[in-house]
C-alpha cells in the first residue's frame, strides 16, 4: 500500500522538506513539503529526483573484511566485522595511545550519528582526533562568528531575504548551490524591484543575473574589498556610532587599519572599478536593512576566517544585525554541517558549542557523561589528520559517510595516506566511492529514505528526517554502527567501568544531546521528537516550555561574549597562497554545478541529472582559448604543482581572462586520472583549518 512520509532533503543546507511517496520497500516519488518553512513546497532539480537516485547496484550491502593489504575483501557477518574492528582499535590504543587512532566523519550524517561518534571518540577512546568534512565547508564561518559575535550562531532567517532592502551575495553561486533559496530571492526581487542585490564573485555566474551590481574581483581579494567598503562607510558617515559605542569593541584599531584601503588601492588589488566600489558602499550604507549571504568562495580559503570577520565588521559598523532583513547569514554547504557544529564534530569543538581547549567546557561535558575527564590534547583538523596518517602517527582510521579520496585537496597525498594506514574502516552507503578501495573493513550504512533522526539547516532550523523504507541488504544506521563499536571498545578498554553507550534508538541520542545545549547560545533543550512532530521544524534556541523557536538572534543587541559586546576584528589582507607564475600562469577555481552533488555517489546514478552538464570539463575565457590556440571541446592536459588531469576545454564568458574552472563532482568513476583535487593544494587557514580549495595555479597544454 502506498504511503507518504515527511522528511528532509539530503543534499544542501537549505534543508527543504520533502514528502516521500513509497510502499513497503520502494520509494516511488518525492515532492516538496508545502508545510515546511524552508521551502514551502519548492524543490530543485536534485531534490525532486531523489527517488531516481541511489542505484541499488551501487550500494554497499554486507560487511566486507580483508586481513592484509593487497588482499581482496570478502563478505563477513556484522559480529565478526565489529569484533575485528574493536580488537584492532583497542590494541592500537593500548600500544600507541588514544591519539594513534582517528575518526573522519561527515556533514551528511544526522545529528544523532554525529553525537554518537563524538561521544565514542571523546569518552570511550579519549581522543580529540575526530574531524569532519565540514572542515572543508564551514569551519571558517565558525571562526568568523565566534571571534566577532561570541558564538557560532548564524543570526538570520530565510524570511530576511524578503525583508531586506540590500543583499550582498559574496563567494556564493546561490543559483546553483542553494537553488530553492535563490528562487525565493528571485520572487522577492520581482515583487520589490527596489531591493538592491550586489554579487561579488570572480566568475559572472548564474547568480549575477539577478544582480544590480556584479563585482568580478580577483580570486582571494575579498578582505581588501570588504575593508575598502568599510572605509567608505566610515568616510561617508554611514555607520551607526551609537551601536558601535554601546555594543561593540575594537573599532578604533579597525578604523585605523581600513583607512589604508582607499577606493583606488582596493580597486588595484581587486581588479575592479573604484566607482563600482563607491556605488556598492552607498547601497549598503544608505539601505535601511542589509543582509549578506556567503558560502565556499569565502570559506574555502587560506584567509577564510579573516574574510568572514571582515564581512561581519560591515554589519557591526552599520548596526545592521539582529533586525528584520539585516545580518550576516552563511549558507551552509552540506545538509547537516550545522548539526555537526552543534554536536562538536570538529576536532577543536565539543558538544553544545563548547571548545575542546577550554577546561571548563571539558569538565561540563565529562560531568554530563559521568566520566572522569575529557582528553585535553588538541585534535587534528582534516589536512593535519591525513598528514599524520601518512607519517604513520595515526595507525587506525575510521571514515564515515564521506569520500576523502576524492573530496580532499591534493588527492595524491590523501591516497598515499590511506594506502599506508595499517587499518582503514569505511562506513558507507555506496560501495562505489573512491575511498572504498582503501577500506580494510567496509561497513554498509543506510542512506536517505532509510534513516531516522534530525538535521539543522542554515537558518538554525531543526527538522526530522524519517525513514520510508528499510535499508538494503544488511546495511545499518550510522548511529547504530557507532554505538555497537563503542560498546565493544568499552569492553576492551574499560572492562570494569559501566557503559556510557546505552542507546538503542536515535531518539535517545537526541534526548541526551539536547541536554548538553541547555543554557548555551544554541539551547534547544526544550525540543523533542514529539514537539517536532507536533509543531514541525523549529529554529534554535528552543528553551523548555517554548511554543516556537527563535527566528532572529541578537535583537536585544546582547552578544554571547564576556562583556556582552561584539568584536571588530582587524585582519590585514593577505594574498592567496599559490600565485600565478610563468610555469603556472592560470588560476583554477572549483565548485558545484546545478544538478550534481559532491562526489556524485547519488546524483551520478540518475541520467536526468546529466542533462545540464554531461561531462567533466575545464572552462576558460574565450580569449585564453584563442591565445593558447585551442578549440572548444579539445582535450587538454591541466597541470598543477601536484598533478595532472586530461579534460575537454570549453569557452565560457563567465570567466575572466587568466582564470579557469573545473566542477568538483567528477572522480575516478567518470574521469580517468581522478578528479579536480589531483590539482588542488593542501594550504589551509591557520585559524579555521579550512583548505584553500578554490585557488590553485595551473597550466594548460594540448594533449
Does position 110 bind ligand SF4 by CB under 6 A? Answer: no
Interface with ligand SF4 (CB under 6 A), residue from 7, 15, 432, 527: 15
In contact, 292 and 314? CB cutoff 8 Å:
yes
Q: From the CB of 456, what's the least distance to ligand SF4, in Å?
A: 13
Neighbours of 371 (CB within 10 A): 17
Judged by DSSP in three states, 458 sits in: coil
Give the separation between CA 419 and CA 499, rounded to whole angstroms: 34
Write down the residue that cell numbers 586520472 correspond to: 673
- Residue 14 is a binding residue for ligand SF4 (CB under 6 A): yes
Residue whose CB is less far from ligand SF4, 40 or 78: 40
Complex with ligand SF4: residue 20 or 509, whichever CB lies closer: 20
**Which residues make Cβ contacts (< 8 Å) with residue 187, sequence separation at least 6?**
none
Nearer Cβ to ligand SF4, position 448 or 661?
A: 448
Residue-level length of the chain:
703
Instruction: Tell me the closest approach of the beta carbon of residue 222 to ligand SF4, in angstroms.
Output: 24
Q: Given the complex with ligand SF4, which of 98 and 453 has the nearer CB atom?
A: 453
**How would you class 648 by CB atoms within 10 Å of its CB: exposed for 0-12, middle for 13-18, buried for 19 or more?**
middle
**Residue 56 and residue 469: Cα distance in Å, rounded?**
13
Choices 9-17, 55-63, 112-120, 352-360; region in contact with ligand SF4 by CB under 6 A = 9-17
98 is a contact residue toward ligand SF4 (CB under 6 A)? no
Closer residue to ligand SF4, CB minimum distance, 43 or 697: 43
Using CB under 6 A as the binding rule, whether residue 16 contacts ligand SF4 is answered as yes
**Can residue 176 be called a binding residue for ligand SF4 (CB under 6 A)?**
no
Residues 678/414, Cβ–Cβ less than 8 Å: no
For the bound state, the minimum distance from the C-beta of residue 401 to ligand SF4, rounded and expressed in Å, comes to 17
| Residues 397-426 interacting with ligand SF4 (rule: CB under 6 A) | none
Query: From CA 444, how far away is CA 219, in angstroms rounded?
Result: 40
Q: Find the part of the chain contacting ligand SF4 (CB under 6 A) among 36-44, 214-222, 340-348, 478-486.
A: 36-44
Q: Verify binding: residue 647, ligand SF4, rule CB under 6 A.
A: no
Q: Measured from the CB atom, is 46 or 146 closer to ligand SF4?
A: 46
Among 19, 20, 27, 44, binds ligand SF4 (CB under 6 A): 44
- Minimum distance from residue 34 beta carbon to ligand SF4 (Å): 14
Among residues 101, 102, 180, 244, the one that binds ligand SF4 under rule CB under 6 A? 180
**Least Cβ distance, residue 177 to ligand SF4 (angstroms):** 8
**Piece in contact with ligand SF4 (CB under 6 A), picked from 13-21, 315-323, 466-474, 683-691:** 13-21
DSSP label at 435?
A: G
**Residue 14 or 277 having the CB closest to ligand SF4:** 14
Number of residues that bind ligand SF4 (CB under 6 A): 14
Residue 206 or residue 276: which is nearer to ligand SF4 going by CB?
A: 206
Distance CA(608)–CA(319), nearest Å, equals 46
Task: Please tell me whether residue 422 adopts helix, strand or coil conformation.
Answer: coil
Q: Of the two residues 332 and 487, which places its CB atom closer to ligand SF4 in the complex?
A: 332
End-to-end CA separation in angstroms for the chain = 56
Looking at beta carbons only, is 46 or 315 nearer to ligand SF4? 46
Q: How many CA atoms does the CB half-sphere of 33 hold within 13 Å? A: 22
What is the nearest approach in angstroms of ligand SF4 to the Cβ of residue 12? 3
Residues 6+ apart with CB under 8 A from 438: 405, 415, 418, 419, 421, 424, 426
Report in angstroms how near the CB of residue 174 gets to ligand SF4 at its nearest: 10
Cβ at position 603, least distance to ligand SF4 in Å: 10
Q: Minimum distance between the CB of residue 514 and ligand SF4, rounded to whole angstroms? A: 23
DSSP state of 132: E
293, three cell numbers: 549571504
Query: Nearest distance from residue 206's CB to ligand SF4, in Å?
Result: 14
Cα separation, 179 vs 169, in Å, equals: 14
Residue nearer to ligand SF4 on the CB measure, 175 or 546: 175
Burial of 623 (0-12, 13-18, 19+ CB in 10 A): middle
Is 19 among the residues that bind ligand SF4 (CB under 6 A)?
A: no
**Does 20 interact with ligand SF4 (rule: CB under 6 A)?**
no
> Does 11 help bind ligand SF4 (rule: CB under 6 A)?
yes
Does 179 bind ligand SF4 (CB under 6 A)? Our answer is yes
Residues 6+ apart with CB under 8 A from 53: 602, 603, 605, 606, 609
Estimate to the nearest angstrom the gap between the alpha carbon of 689 and the chain centroid.
13
From the CB of 207, what's the least distance to ligand SF4, in Å?
Answer: 14
Cβ atoms 296, 172 nearer than 8 A: yes
Residue 8 Cβ vs ligand SF4, minimum distance, rounded to whole Å: 8
| Neighbour tally for 641: CB within 10 Å | 14
Q: What is the DSSP string of 569-612?
A: --PPP---SS---SSS-EEEEEE--SS--TT-TTGGG-GGGGSS
d(CA 149, CA 162) in angstroms, rounded, equals 24
Q: Between 7 and 525, name the residue whose CB sits nearer to ligand SF4.
A: 7
Query: In terms of CB distance, is 18 or 636 closer to ligand SF4?
Result: 18
**CA distances, 489 to each of 93, 395, 399 (Å):** 10, 16, 17
Q: Which of 43, 198, 397, 531 binds ligand SF4 (CB under 6 A)?
A: 43
The answer to the question of residue 46 lying near ligand SF4 (CB under 6 A) is: yes
| Shortest-Cβ-distance residue relative to ligand SF4 | 47
CB atoms within 10 A of CB 17: 28
Verify binding: residue 47, ligand SF4, rule CB under 6 A. Answer: yes
CB 458, CB 537: distance < 8 Å:
no
Q: Which residue's CB is nearer to ligand SF4, number 180 or number 628?
A: 180
Torsion of CA 318, 323, 328, 330, to 10 degrees: -170
Q: C-beta of 625: minimal distance to ligand SF4 in Å?
A: 32
Alpha carbons 399 and 247: distance in angstroms, whole number: 43
* Selected range binding ligand SF4 among 178-186, 200-208, 287-295, 444-452, rule: CB under 6 A: 178-186
> 298, 84, 44, 52: which is closest to 175 by C-alpha?
44
> Is residue 477 within the footprint of ligand SF4 (CB under 6 A)?
no
Decide whether 11 or 430 has the Cβ nearer to ligand SF4: 11
CB 431 within 8 A of CB 60: yes
CB 29 to ligand SF4: min, Å: 14
Angle formed by the axes of helices 382-390 and 411-420, nearest 10°: 50
Q: How far apart are CA 270 and CA 443, in angstroms?
A: 48
Distance CA 213, CA 273 (A): 12
Q: Which residue in this structure is represented by grid cell 583538523?
A: 381
Per the CB < 8 A criterion, the answer to whether 327 and 7 are in contact is no
CB 209, min distance to ligand SF4, A: 18
Please, which residue, 30 or 283, has the CB nearer to ligand SF4?
30
Q: Longest Cα pair distance anywhere in the chain, in angstroms? A: 73
Tell me whether residue 177 or residue 426 sits nearer to ligand SF4 (CB atom): 177
12 binds ligand SF4 per the rule CB under 6 A: yes
Q: C-beta of 591: minimal distance to ligand SF4 in Å?
A: 15
Site membership for ligand SF4, residue 9 (CB under 6 A):
yes
Which is nearer to ligand SF4, 206 or 651 (by Cβ)? Answer: 206
Interface with ligand SF4 by CB under 6 A: which residues? 9, 11-12, 14-16, 39, 43-44, 46-47, 178-180
Amino acid at each position: 500500500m502506498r504511503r507518504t512520509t515527511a522528511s528532509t532533503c539530503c543534499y544542501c543546507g537549505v534543508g527543504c522538506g520533502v514528502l516521500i511517496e513509497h510502499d513497503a520497500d520502494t520509494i516511488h516519488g518525492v515532492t516538496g513539503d508545502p508545510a515546511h518553512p524552508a521551502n514551502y513546497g519548492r524543490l530543485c532539480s536534485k531534490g525532486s529526483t531523489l527517488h531516481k537516485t541511489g542505484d541499488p547496484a551501487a550500494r554497499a550491502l554486507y560487511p566486507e573484511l580483508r586481513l592484509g593489504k593487497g588482499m581482496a575483501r570478502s563478505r563477513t557477518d556484522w559480529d565478526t566485522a565489529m569484533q575485528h574492528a574493536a580488537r584492532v582499535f583497542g590494541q592500537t590504543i593500548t600500544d600507541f595511545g588514544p591519539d594513534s587512532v582517528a575518526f573522519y566523519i561527515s556533514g551528511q550524517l544526522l545529528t544523532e550519528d554525529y553525537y554518537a561518534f563524538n561521544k565514542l571518540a571523546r569518552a570511550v577512546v579519549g581522543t580529540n582526533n575526530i574531524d569532519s568534512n565540514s572542515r572543508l565547508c564551514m569551519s571558517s564561518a565558525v571562526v568568523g562568528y565566534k571571534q566577532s559575535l561570541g558564538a557560532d550562531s548564524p543570526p538570520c532567517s530565510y524570511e530576511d531575504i524578503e525583508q531586506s532592502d540590500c543583499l550582498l551575495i559574496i563567494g556564493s553561486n546561490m543559483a546553483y548551490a542553494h537553488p530553492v533559496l535563490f528562487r525565493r530571492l528571485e520572487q522577492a526581487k520581482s515583487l520589490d524591484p527596489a531591493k538592491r542585490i550586489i554579487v561579488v564573485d570572480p566568475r559572472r555566474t548564474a547568480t549575477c543575473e539577478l544582480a544590480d551590481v556584479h563585482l568580478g574581483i580577483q580570486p582571494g581579494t575579498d578582505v581588501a574589498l570588504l575593508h575598502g567598503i568599510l572605509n567608505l562607510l566610515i568616510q561617508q558617515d554611514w555607520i551607526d556610532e551609537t551601536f558601535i559605542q554601546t555594543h561593540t569593541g575594537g573599532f578604533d584599531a579597525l578604523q585605523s587599519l581600513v583607512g589604508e584601503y582607499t577606493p583606488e588601492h582596493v580597486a588595484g588589488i581587486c581588479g575592479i572599478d573604484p566607482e563600482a566600489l563607491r556605488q556598492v558602499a552607498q547601497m549598503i550604507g544608505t539601505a535601511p536593512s542589509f543582509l549578506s549571504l556567503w558560502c565556499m568562495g569565502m570559506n574555502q580559503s587560506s584567509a577564510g576566517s579573516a574574510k568572514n570577520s571582515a564581512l561581519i565588521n560591515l554589519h557591526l559598523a552599520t548596526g545592521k544585525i539582529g533586525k528584520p532583513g539585516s545580518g550576516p547569514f552563511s549558507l551552509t554547504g552540506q545538509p547537516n554541517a550545522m548539526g555537526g557544529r552543534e554536536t562538536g564534530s570538529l576536532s577543536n569543538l565539543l558538544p553544545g558549542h563548547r571548545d575542546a581547549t577550554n577546561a571548563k567546557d571539558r569538565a561540563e561535558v565529562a560531568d554530563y557523561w559521568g566520566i572522569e575527564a575529557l582528553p585535553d590534547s588538541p585534535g587534528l583538523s582534516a589536512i593535519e589528520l591525513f598528514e599524520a596518517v601518512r607519517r604513520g602517527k595515526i595507525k587506525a582510521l575510521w571514515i564515515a559517510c564521506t569520500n576523502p579520496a576524492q573530496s580532499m585537496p591534493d588527492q595524491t597525498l590523501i591516497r598515499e595516506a590511506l594506502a599506508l594506514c595499517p587499518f582503514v574502516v569505511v562506513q558507507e552507503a555506496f560501495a562505489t566511492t573512491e575511498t572504498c578501495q582503501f577500506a580494510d573493513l567496509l561497513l554498509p550504512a543506510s542512506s536517505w529514505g532509510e534513516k531516522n533522526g534530525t538535521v539543522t539547516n542554515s537558518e538554525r532550523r531543526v527538522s526530522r528526517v524519517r525513514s520510508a523504507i528499510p535499508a538494503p541488504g544488511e546495511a545499518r544506521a550510522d548511529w547504530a554502527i557507532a554505538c555497537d563499536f563503542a560498546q565493544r571498545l568499552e569492553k576492551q578498554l574499560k572492562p570494569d567501568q559501566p557503559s556510557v553507550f546505552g542507546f538503542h534508538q536515535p531518539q535517545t541520542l537526541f534526548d541526551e544531546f539536547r541536554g548538553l545545549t541547555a543554557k548555551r547560545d544554541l539551547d534547544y533543550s526544550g525540543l523533542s521528537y514529539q514537539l517536532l512532530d507536533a509543531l514541525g521544524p523549529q529554529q534554535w534556541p528552543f528553551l523548555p516550555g517554548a511554543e516556537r523557536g527563535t527566528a532572529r538572534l541578537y535583537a536585544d543587541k546582547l552578544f554571547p561574549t564576556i562583556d556582552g559586546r561584539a568584536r571588530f576584528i582587524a585582519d590585514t589582507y593577505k594574498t592567496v597562497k599559490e600565485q600565478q607564475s610563468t610555469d603556472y600562469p592560470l588560476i583554477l577555481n572549483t565548485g558545484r554545478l546545478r544538478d550534481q552533488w559532491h562526489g556524485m555517489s547519488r546524483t551520478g546514478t540518475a541520467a536526468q541529472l546529466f542533462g545540464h552538464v554531461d561531462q567533466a570539463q575545464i572552462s576558460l575565457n574565450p580569449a585564453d582559448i584563442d591565445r593558447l590556440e585551442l578549440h572548444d571541446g579539445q582535450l587538454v592536459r591541466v597541470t598543477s604543482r601536484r598533478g595532472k588531469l586530461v579534460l575537454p576545454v570549453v569557452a565560457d564568458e563567465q570567466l575572466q581572462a587568466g582564470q579557469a574552472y573545473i566542477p568538483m563532482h567528477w572522480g575516478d568513476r567518470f574521469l580517468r586520472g581522478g578528479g579536480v583535487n589531483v590539482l588542488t593544494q593542501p594550504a589551509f587557514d591557520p585559524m579555521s583549518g579550512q583548505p584553500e580549495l578554490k585557488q590553485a595555479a595551473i597550466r594548460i597544454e594540448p594533449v
